Chains A and B, each alone.
Chain A
Amino acid sequence: MSSASNREHMEKLMMGALDGELTGKEQAEFNQMLSKDPSMKEEFEKYKKLVKVTKTMKLKAPAPEVWENYWLDVYNRIERGIGWLVFSVGLVILLTYGSFKVVEAVINDPGLAIIIKVGILLTIGGLAILFVSVAREKYFTRKHDPYKEIIR
């Protein structure tokens, strides 16, 4: 074992000893290392003092009402998310139907000049292409992105 990997092994054993996570064999190995190296023993004592205090550190508890309302808040957020989804689907259906009716009316209107008809149809067609393109991009990015939970 090289001195660097030996050192790393010792550091891991030291952490395990501090946290009571060593097996009997590992503990014996660590004790032997300590008995051979006074500087390591001194370092270990410093870590022991440090960990004795860090294990007593506590984070402030929130007000009890926070716990009482916690699930209700989560529930409301879930429900609102579903609400938005249903609303969006409904809106897409209405917009699609409305666009179809507008296109139908424009085509059948004898009073409109051809150039106006073409302009309106191109505008609606362009919007539809843009919408589908953005929706498809979002869908495929989400589906294939392993970090989709990360907000960029």
Chain B
Amino acid sequence: MDTAGSIVAHDQAAAPVRRISSDAQAIALCQAGNKAAYGYLVEQYKERAYYSALGLVRSHEAALDLSQDAFVRAFRHIKRFDTTKKFFTWYYQILRNLCLNFIRDTKRHARSFSEVYDTQIMHLIDDKQDASAFAEQNELRRALWAAMDELKPKEREIIILKDIQDLAYKEIADILEIPIGTVMSRLFNARKALKAKIERIYL
């Protein structure tokens, strides 16, 4: 990506084929059969896609595989994409279905967040911080990840989208195709379940 925020789509030999600066432009090119233009969309959304999948399936390999597979499926149907909608919203439907199927199929081998959550933030960031309060927060964070393992996939999903990916209610509503009021009540139920699991010890 260059400093102006545009990106050069590359073909297999990494030769620049065209300057692309918006989703709409990339989608129009893809719909005209330009495979390389799809690189713009993949580059734009790969991290969000990967972390969305990781939050649901809790496995690095599976998140990588499923997020890439969803990109491939989205490309196959790109001609059917309704250009009045956002690309990621449409892509997320495909990714979500793949992840939920993966969870269903691997239920007996359920993963744990302990394999994929970031432990680096558990160190004191600066000396001025209150060490005991920080330690308490770390403990709480650890307990919360364990509690997250026990949530239903849809509850985990809404927590990941709101608190970890920091999306606004409107974005979540668009992605999940539900009204904002439902986002709020689903979030309440998920946080309530999370709170109930750790309340006696930490809150």
The reply to whether A58 and B188 form a contact with Cβ atoms under 8 Å apart is no
Within 8 A of B (CB), among A72-87: 72-75, 77-79, 81
Q: A47-B191, A147-B97 are in contact. Are A57 and B117 (CB under 8 A)?
A: yes
The reply to whether A15 and B184 form a contact with Cβ atoms under 8 Å apart is yes
| Chain A residues close to B by CB (< 8 Å) | 8, 11-12, 14-16, 19, 21, 46-47, 49-51, 53-62, 66-67, 70-75, 77-79, 81, 147, 149-152
The reply to whether B137 and A59 form a contact with Cβ atoms under 8 Å apart is no
Contact among A12, A19, A49, A149 with B73 in the assembled complex (CB-CB below 8 Å) = A149
Besides A16-B184, A57-B144, A71-B10, 15 other CB < 8 A contacts? A11-B185, A11-B188, A12-B184, A14-B188, A19-B162, A47-B195, A57-B118, A59-B55, A59-B116, A59-B164, A75-B35, A78-B75, A79-B12, A81-B76, A150-B101
**A/B interface sample: 30 pairs, CB < 8 A:** A11-B188, A12-B184, A14-B188, A15-B187, A15-B188, A16-B184, A21-B168, A46-B199, A49-B203, A50-B144, A50-B198, A53-B137, A53-B144, A57-B145, A59-B51, A59-B54, A59-B116, A61-B118, A62-B50, A66-B50, A74-B75, A75-B12, A75-B38, A77-B72, A149-B97, A150-B97, A150-B100, A150-B101, A151-B101, A152-B101
Contact among A15, A50, A74, A150 with B68 in the assembled complex (CB-CB below 8 Å) = A74
The reply to whether B194 and A67 form a contact with Cβ atoms under 8 Å apart is no
B140 within 8 A of A: yes
Give the CA-CA distance A19 to B163 in the complex, in Å.
9
The reply to whether B38 and A58 form a contact with Cβ atoms under 8 Å apart is no
Q: Which residues of the partner chain B approach A11 to less than 8 Å between Cβ atoms?
A: 184-185, 188
Chain B: interface residue total (CB-CB under 8 A): 57
The reply to whether B185 and A54 form a contact with Cβ atoms under 8 Å apart is no
